[in-house]
């Protein structure tokens, strides 16, 4: 079997192929294969690895364009997933600067983690003597987020980072902001929440790739959604993102239950911001994607009354403290 590895020597990118027999692959993990290549075929191959226990996240790479935690990926499973191919292409994580071969630069990600202040300041009732106690339910709220091992698989798959990383933090950064903001022991969620809002919280494109590829089953997209709801609850409602969310809710509850696309842009960004987008609106109307008559409202969806009743019940439960 052929393993084609994307390599980088500091100045140029190139591909290098290594031939391994099925016997040499048998019983190994993907990390085991990389180690076999380095130890037996090419000592110059560079990659990152540490504990081999799927808890440090160091060894994440891409195989055939998808992210995997190398130490947690058995070759038998990989062969089955790709239906016994003749070759695999192994590449460094996407959306990271490559330092050497499969080694990527984590410093910008660490800086983003510093922005959201991942450590918490405990509430005043806690002390060195009393400790910081949590109920099982409170711990359950942040348990999944604590499982994040900073492997970078979610960031590698993120379509928003691929399109423009200048105004958006890596998905795992939002997961750690969520963990800190929702921790019952935390004195204040705002030190974690505000930096998340200022660094792209509302720019997630909902592609769900982060959730699909996380080796720990964490959904960074769900964590982002929860942070958005908390931000609005805390009064951080400036910008087009919160306006967009409010427009959705308005159409669902007070409207017909259908999204009013004519009003959506106006509610989200205002009249002046949309003056230069009239050509886009005209093209959508010409293509039948937007009906100008919907500005007066649309036909109510089936079951709309029941949906509104559910939302109002949830609001009452939230107001009484029964749910968050």
Which of 296 and 181 is assigned the larger pLDDT?
Answer: 181
pLDDT of residue 143: 96
Closest by CA position to 15, among listed 88, 104, 97, 99:
88
Token pair 């499973």 is at which residue? 77
For range 88-103, the mean pLDDT: 98
Domain residue ranges of the chain, discontinuous segments joined by +: 2-103, 105-234, 240-320
Sign of the C-alpha dihedral computed for residues 46, 52, 57 and 62 taken in this order: positive
Comparing 43-47, 119-123, 207-211, 244-248, which segment has the lowest mean pLDDT? 244-248
Sign of the C-alpha dihedral computed for residues 290, 295, 301 and 304 taken in this order: positive
Q: State pLDDT tens for residues 195-238.
A: 999 999 999 999 999 999 999 999 999 999 999 999 999 999 88
C-beta separation of 20 from 1 below 8 A: yes
pLDDT of residue 277: 66
Please provide the average confidence, as pLDDT, over all residues in the chain: 90
pLDDT of residue 203: 95
Q: State pLDDT tens for residues 52-65.
A: 999 999 999 999 99
Comparing 48-52, 245-249, 292-296, 305-309, which segment has the lowest mean pLDDT? 292-296
For range 157-184, the mean pLDDT: 97
Whether the pLDDT of residue 282 is over 80: the answer is no
Whether the pLDDT of residue 35 is over 70: the answer is yes
Helices (H), the chain: 22-25, 30-40, 75-81, 107-115, 136-146, 153-157, 159-163, 171-181, 190-198, 209-213, 220-233, 240-253, 261-269, 271-274, 278-286, 304-319
Closest by CA position to 2, among listed 46, 39, 41:
41
Whether the pLDDT of residue 294 is over 70: the answer is no
pLDDT of residue 246: 79
Which of 312 and 112 is assigned the larger pLDDT?
Answer: 112
Which of 15 and 254 is assigned the larger pLDDT?
Answer: 15
C-beta separation of 102 from 47 below 8 A: yes
For range 313-320, the mean pLDDT: 84
pLDDT of residue 54: 94
Give bridge partners of residue 2 from the DSSP assignment. Answer: 19, 87
29: which DSSP letter?
Answer: B
- DSSP for 95-122 reads TS-EEETTEE--HHHHHHHHHT--S-PB
For range 127-147, the mean pLDDT: 92
- Count of C-beta atoms within a 10 Å radius of residue 128: 6
State the distance between the two ends of the chain, measured CA to CA, in whole angstroms: 53
pLDDT of residue 305: 86
Residue 59 in tokens: 């060894």
Whether the pLDDT of residue 265 is over 70: the answer is no
Helices (H), 149-203: 153-157, 159-163, 171-181, 190-198
Give CA separation, 212 vs 116, 131, 199, 219, in Å: 24, 37, 23, 8
pLDDT of residue 298: 64
- Residues 20 and 3: their CA atoms lie apart, in Å, by 8
pLDDT of residue 272: 61
Q: How confident is the model at residue 322 (pLDDT cuts 50, 70, 90)?
A: confident
For range 270-299, the mean pLDDT: 68
CATH 1.10.3720.10 assigned to domain 105-234? The reply is no
Q: How confident is the model at residue 262 (pLDDT cuts 50, 70, 90)?
A: low
For the domain covering 2-103, report its CATH number. 3.10.20.30
Rounded to 10 degrees, what is the CA torsion of 125, 128, 130, 134? Answer: 70
Q: What is the CA radius of gyration of the chain?
A: 24
Whether the pLDDT of residue 264 is over 80: the answer is no
């Amino acid at each position: 079997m052929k393993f084609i590895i994307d390599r980088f020597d500091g100045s140029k990118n190139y591909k290098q192929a290594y031939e391994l027999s099925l016997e040499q692959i048998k019983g190994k993990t993907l990390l085991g294969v990389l180690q076999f290549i380095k130890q037996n075929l090419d000592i110059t191959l560079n990659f990152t690895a540490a504990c081999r226990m799927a808890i440090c996240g160091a060894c994440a790479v891409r195989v055939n364009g998808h992210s995997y935690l190398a130490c947690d990926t058995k070759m038998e499973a990989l062969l089955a997933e790709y239906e016994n191919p003749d070759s695999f292409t192994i590449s460094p994580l996407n959306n990271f600067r490559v330092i050497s071969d499969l080694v990527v630069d984590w410093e910008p990600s660490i800086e983003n983690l510093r922005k959201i202040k991942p450590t918490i300041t405990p509430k005043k009732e806690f002390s060195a003597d009393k400790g910081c106690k949590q109920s099982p339910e409170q711990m359950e709220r942040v348990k999944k987020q604590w499982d994040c091992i900073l492997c970078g698989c979610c960031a590698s798959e993120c379509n928003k980072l691929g399109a423009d990383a200048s105004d958006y933090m890596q998905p795992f950064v939002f997961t750690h902001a969520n963990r800190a903001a929702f921790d019952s022991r935390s004195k204040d969620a705002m030190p974690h929440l505000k930096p998340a809002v200022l660094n792209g919280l509302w720019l997630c494109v909902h592609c769900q790739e982060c959730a699909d590829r996380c080796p720990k089953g964490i959904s960074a997209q769900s964590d982002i959604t929860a942070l958005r709801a908390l931000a609005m609850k805390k009064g951080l409602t400036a910008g087009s993102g919160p306006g967009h969310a409010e427009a959705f809710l308005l159409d669902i509850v007070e409207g017909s239950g259908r999204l009013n696309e004519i009003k959506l842009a106006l509610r989200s960004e205002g009249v002046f911001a949309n003056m230069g987008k009239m050509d886009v609106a005209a093209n959508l109307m010409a293509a039948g994607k937007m009906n100008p008559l919907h500005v007066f409202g649309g036909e109510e969806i089936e079951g709309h009354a029941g949906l509104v009743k559910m939302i109002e019940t949830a609001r009452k439960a939230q107001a009484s403290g029964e749910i968050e």
